[in-house]
Structure 1
Amino acid sequence: MSDIWQPAWIALALSLKVAGWATLLDIVFGIALGYVLARYRFPGRDMLDALLTLPMVMPPTVLGYYLLVLIGRNGPIGHWLQQQFGINLIFTWQAAVLAAAVVAFPLVLKAARSAFETVDTQLEDAARVLGVSPVGVFLRVTLPLAWRGVLAGTLLAFARSMGEFGATLMVAGSIPGKTQTLSIAVYEAVQAGQDDTANLLVIITSVTCVVVLVLANKLTPNRGL
């Protein structure tokens, strides 16, 4: 039994690590861009929104290919990192983080934008009249009023990152203990005919994602009531 549990816990720990970092990246960029799209009108706004939402509908393997083109050794970003810092992202857990962050990003973006659009702008204007700085208005008025929606999107992004497979496999591979997340470990176990291991990994993944989704549902505002 220990032979089954050990790789499962290692894959779970790595998945939580990857999902955690990916979600943190999505929070930073998702909140910033969600606020911009919710509050400002500018040429190309709809196109920008479409491009940022594209990972939600694009096949993960295609996203993985784009990432390979960008961060591979011959890609513009990958070549620059290799030349300047000696960093190679391909087949590392950091590449898995990047893949998961890209795939899950639209979930945070859409939730943040929707949450910011529900905030009464008159409250923000009142804070400005009282002399609060733009940053202060965002941190003390806008974000506190939108936090439930933002957090719900964040939890959904975390769950999506936990289950990411295609893009992660393309850029990070399947190295046990290093880049083999739960979803990839399930695939490898099935391919090897290790049904007991696959079943255990599936149960762990399912329970983790269900818990996250329940929390997200509890935090989502009931607009219909």
Structure 2
Amino acid sequence: MGDINLFPLLLSLRVSITATILAIVIGIPIAYYLHRANGKMSDFIDTLITLPIVLPPTVLGYYLLVLLGRNSPVGQFLENYLDITIVFTPTGAVIAALVVSIPFMIKSAKTSFASIDQDLIHSAAILGRQRLNIFFTIMVPLAWRGIVAGITLTFARAMGDFGTTLMIAGSIPNETMTMPIAIYDALLVGDRILANTLVFIMTIVAITILYAINRLEKRVIQG
């Protein structure tokens, strides 16, 4: 059995946490917009957000390569003016994890916003509350269970991504090799013991994190 390298696990955790934080910051405002909007544009945006759930990971990876690759306008701009390279870097792994996981954050938060009693929102508006104040003091606290569920699903999806990450970030040892890719590589070289060990480690880590999130949610509910 080859030596167990913990770098893929640490990278997967770092990528997943970063992608989840970005999904919260980006996804919740989008969910709020989709909850309030009603028109062709919002329907189109909602459709685009759902695409990463139904498209094969390799297709998503291909789109990211076309959009962010070194030969693309966006990739050339980032590299020439900001000195940022996306493809085959940990940054690419974060972007891949974000793209495949943010739909779960948006869908869950949007559903939670829709379940809020609109009379509370209207009453707050009549009392002079500004929209931003209503969002942070009423809507987010009332929708927190759905938001927490979205965070859990987002983290789990980001942690387990394989195809999209492999396409955009590659499998460079000690640089872009996440845990799912390390497991795949171990199987490719026929090291089943190493693969089983990595699978066991990742399963334990995932269960521990999800259990901790569930316990935290119950503590908040119980006051």
Quick check: 1:153–1:216 contact (8 Å CA) kept in 2?
no
Partner amino acid, structure 2, of 1:117: A
1:183 is matched with which residue: 180, 183, 190?
Answer: 180
Q: Percent identity?
A: 45
Report whether the alignment pairs 1:162 with 2:159. Answer: yes
Query: What's the CA shift for 1:95?
Result: 0.3
Distance (Å, rounded) in 2 between the aligned partners of 1:211 and 1:40 = 38
User: How high is the TM-score relative to the length of structure 1?
Assistant: 0.90
The C-alpha deviation readout for 1:133-192, integer Å capped at 9, x for no partner, is 211110000000001101111111101111101010111111112110000000011111
The C-alpha deviation readout for 1:108-129, integer Å capped at 9, x for no partner, is 1110110100111211222222
Partner amino acid, structure 2, of 1:92: T
Could you tell me which residue of structure 1 aligns to residue 204 of structure 2? Answer: 207
Partner amino acid, structure 1, of 2:189: A
Could you tell me which residue of structure 2 aligns to residue 82 of structure 1? Answer: 79
Could you tell me which residue of structure 1 aligns to residue 131 of structure 2? Answer: 134
2:50 is matched with which residue: 53, 74, 93?
Answer: 53
Unaligned runs of 5+ in 2: 219-223
Distance (Å, rounded) in 2 between the aligned partners of 1:28 and 1:59 = 26
Partner amino acid, structure 1, of 2:154: A
Distance (Å, rounded) in 2 between the aligned partners of 1:106 and 1:199 = 30
Moved more, 26-35 or 159-168: 26-35
Report whether the alignment pairs 1:149 with 2:146. Answer: yes
Distance (Å, rounded) in 1 between the aligned partners of 2:72 and 2:205 = 35
Report whether the alignment pairs 1:105 with 2:102. Answer: yes
Could you tell me which residue of structure 1 aligns to residue 3 of structure 2? Answer: 4
Equivalent position SS for 1:161: helix
Distance (Å, rounded) in 1 between the aligned partners of 2:153 and 2:65 = 25
Distance (Å, rounded) in 1 between the aligned partners of 2:119 and 2:110 = 18
Root-mean-square deviation over aligned CA pairs: 1.9
Query: What's the CA shift for 1:211?
Result: 3.9
Unaligned runs of 5+ in 1: 221-225
Query: What's the CA shift for 1:14?
Result: 0.4
Distance (Å, rounded) in 1 between the aligned partners of 2:68 and 2:38 = 32
Distance (Å, rounded) in 1 between the aligned partners of 2:171 and 2:193 = 19
Partner amino acid, structure 2, of 1:96: A
Equivalent position SS for 2:154: helix
Equivalent position SS for 1:44: helix
2:28 is matched with which residue: 18, 31, 54?
Answer: 31
Query: What's the CA shift for 1:214?
Result: 4.8
The C-alpha deviation readout for 1:74-115, integer Å capped at 9, x for no partner, is 112111101211221111001000001001111111101101
Partner amino acid, structure 1, of 2:68: I
Query: What's the CA shift for 1:216?
Result: 6.6
Quick check: 1:34–1:110 contact (8 Å CA) kept in 2?
yes
Partner amino acid, structure 2, of 1:4: D
Equivalent position SS for 1:89: coil
Could you tell me which residue of structure 2 aligns to residue 118 of structure 1? Answer: 115
Distance (Å, rounded) in 2 between the aligned partners of 1:122 and 1:216 = 31
Equivalent position SS for 2:133: helix
Q: How many residues align?
A: 217
Could you tell me which residue of structure 1 aligns to residue 38 of structure 2? Answer: 41
Moved more, 89-98 or 204-213: 204-213
Report whether the alignment pairs 1:91 with 2:88. Answer: yes
